Amino acid sequence: MSDELGCELCGDLPVLSVGEEVPDFEMETFEPSTGSFGEVSLANLKADGKWTILVFYPADFTFVCPTELADLAAQDAKLTELGAKVIGVSTDTKFAHLAWCREEKLMTDVKYTLAADTTGVVSSLFGVYDDATGLALRGTFIISPEGKLVSGTVNFYNVGRNMEELTRVMEANAHCAANPAEACPAQWTPGDKTLTPNEGMVGNVYEALNG
């Protein structure tokens, strides 16, 4: 973790809101694809033109968490094709990540980066750190290649996520980034009609979608 960000957060940096620029952060990682330790930083991902997807979860060696991360593994290839870097994040150490991937069969297909937010600084930045437990809630966040937070959802401990919806939201964000005049309606998937907001569409969205 960079000292700069740590100091900023010690100064009561407000929790991020969608639409805001995300300050740089760094975390130690375990890389299941290579079995090695490493680091990840938002600055490097931005320099590489990557979307960043942070999937916070409470803890290694728990119960709902491996089902979510296995579900995310099934979406990883699609998300990577969209130009995204997928990062699972908990407050566990990189050593715990390694041991969990080695022991839990549901983690067999997990090849994306697992980051160690051991201080809770990054979890706090995104508003998912639980002071009572020292764990992170089930938060999912998408950061644009320019470093803007474009999507964020949070579940409590006892409700797992549907990672297909994460892929759909990522697809919509990628489409809107490439077509900034357009907007994606509910349940939009690639190939569906989009909306191009203008004064003639006011009160006529049905016609725009069904014309």
Which residue out of 7, 65, 176, 184 is catalytically annotated? 65
Q: What would the two tokens of residue 97 be?
A: 């990540």
* DSSP assignment of 29-77: EEETTTTEEEEEEHHHHHHTT-EEEEEE-S-TT-SHHHHHHHHHHHHHH
Distances (CA, A) of 88 to 27, 36, 125, 186: 11, 15, 16, 27
65 catalytic? Reply is yes
Q: CA 168 to CA 118: how far, in whole Å?
A: 30
**What is the torsional sign of CA 75, 171, 58, 48?**
positive
Which helix (H) or strand (E) covers residue 7, if one does? helix 3-10
Q: CA 193 to CA 210: how far, in whole Å?
A: 9
**Enzyme catalytic residues:** 65
